[in-house]
Amino acid sequence: MKKFKKLKITGIILAILVLFLVIINIIPPKTNVENNPFIVGDNKLPLIAAHRGGGKNNPENTMLAFREAVKTIGIDIIESDLYLTKDGYLVYNHDAYIDETCNVNGDISLEEVKNICEDETKRHYIKDMTLEELEKYNFGYYFEDEDGNRIYKDETELEKTGLQIATVDKLFEEFHESNPELLFIVEIKNDGDAGYKACKILSETLDKYPNYKDRLVVGTFHDEIETELKTNYPHLLRGAPTGTAAKFILTQFLGVNIFDRSDFACLQIPTSYDLGITLRLNKKTIINRAHRRNIAVQYWTINDADEMRELIELGCDCIMTDDPILLKRVLEEYK
């Protein structure tokens, strides 16, 4: 008899727990943002985000790459990272230093440059250089075409060809009239005071290009810069920092997403995380639960056609790629 009572009590507790989980998954969660231009909608193809401007197709993070991506390839989103120069300009570059993308070390091979850069003290950091100094260098110097030819190695008319380092102001100016529908994903790489200043400059620059104020999402890996964005620039859409993204994904896996209190606009994730075991993130459930909160799901960095097809069929909102030409070709299959 006692055994039966224990089983009955256990059954009641499990039933209550199941009912609780069902209820919290039925209740519509609060949306993170009301208007999210990065959501494509049901049964729509994902947006093409040119990672670094499409670094496989053209010299990464240059105006040449951005122009080709927008005007020739027809991408939807420009994605890149922002660094603050010594004299207070925001420029696009993937790394904190410029050695591996331009001829700052003179006429030597990329392999030699990488050997030099193993010593961090010998790197040329953006924070230590003015914009005028940076603009002297050819940022297409090491770019190779499909045949392995360095086709821009000897280019000297850098401003005309778009092979100078690009500023955030120059990029907005380039497209704000001709492509007002263009979207942007940016990451502020600086931390501390430089990161605070970068936030301020980005916001002030957007004031000059109002078309883009609601068409840019900004992210950071630094907690203090995330707090700065939330506190002083709440009008800017934000991507989820790593910790916040991990928390959101965990609540989805556990089915308790109603308890997530995040307020980001875009969930930018790889297809998997290696945590000793491989955690797969290319799941329809993650996308569906994010969409309930009006969060866009954006996968990076996808350069394989089959992986692109898988994400398209899952219904993600955006695919970030170094090869937007390939992604464009794959998307044509679905049209």
Average pLDDT over residues 4-25: 53
Quote the pLDDT of residue 86.
Answer: 98
**No. of helices (H) and no. of strands (E), the chain:** 12, 11
Q: Reply yes or no on whether the pLDDT at 274 is more than 90.
A: no
Q: Reply yes or no on whether the pLDDT at 33 is more than 70.
A: yes
Residue 191's domain comprises 36-96+166-334
Average pLDDT over residues 33-41: 93
Give 279-289 pLDDT, tens digit per residue: 899 999 999 99
Residues 6+ apart with CB under 8 A from 180: 211, 212
Q: Reply yes or no on whether the pLDDT at 24 is more than 60.
A: no
The model's confidence at residue 21, banded by pLDDT at 50, 70 and 90, is: very low
The model's confidence at residue 20, banded by pLDDT at 50, 70 and 90, is: very low
DSSP tag of 70: I
> pTM for the whole thing?
0.89
Q: Reply yes or no on whether the pLDDT at 17 is more than 70.
A: no
Average pLDDT over residues 248-266: 76
Average pLDDT over residues 207-219: 96
Q: Reply yes or no on whether the pLDDT at 27 is more than 90.
A: no
Q: Reply yes or no on whether the pLDDT at 16 is more than 60.
A: no
Q: Which of 12-16, 236-240, 272-276, 284-288 has the lowest mean pLDDT?
A: 12-16
Tell me the chain's radius of gyration from C-alpha atoms.
Answer: 23
Beta bridge partners of 49: 77, 320
Average pLDDT over residues 41-58: 96
In a domain, 269, yes or no: yes
The model's confidence at residue 10, banded by pLDDT at 50, 70 and 90, is: low
| 124 catalytic per annotation | no
Q: Identify whether the C-beta of residue 235 lies closer than 8 Å to the C-beta of residue 218.
A: no
Give 150-208 pLDDT, tens digit per residue: 999 999 999 999 999 999 999 999 999 999 999 999 999 999 999 999 999 999 999 99
In a domain, 151, yes or no: no
Distance from C-alpha of 169 to C-alpha of 313, rounded to nearest angstrom: 36
In a domain, 330, yes or no: yes
Quote the pLDDT of residue 248.
Answer: 86
Residue 34 vs residue 62, higher pLDDT: 62
What's the structural domain count of the chain?
1
In a domain, 30, yes or no: no
In a domain, 263, yes or no: yes
Distance from C-alpha of 334 to C-alpha of 312, rounded to nearest angstrom: 9
How far is C-alpha 268 from the chain's CA centre? 6
Q: Reply yes or no on whether the pLDDT at 139 is more than 90.
A: yes
| 235 catalytic per annotation | no
Q: Is 39 helix (H, G, I), strand (E, B) or coil?
A: coil
In a domain, 319, yes or no: yes
Distance from C-alpha of 325 to C-alpha of 330, rounded to nearest angstrom: 9
Average pLDDT, the chain: 91
Residue 297 belongs to domain with CATH number:
3.20.20.190
Distance from C-alpha of 140 to C-alpha of 297, rounded to nearest angstrom: 32
Q: Reply yes or no on whether the pLDDT at 15 is more than 80.
A: no
Quote the pLDDT of residue 276.
Answer: 72
Q: Which residue bears the tokens 């907690």?
A: 223
As given in the structure block, the two tokens for residue 157 are 């008319």
In a domain, 213, yes or no: yes
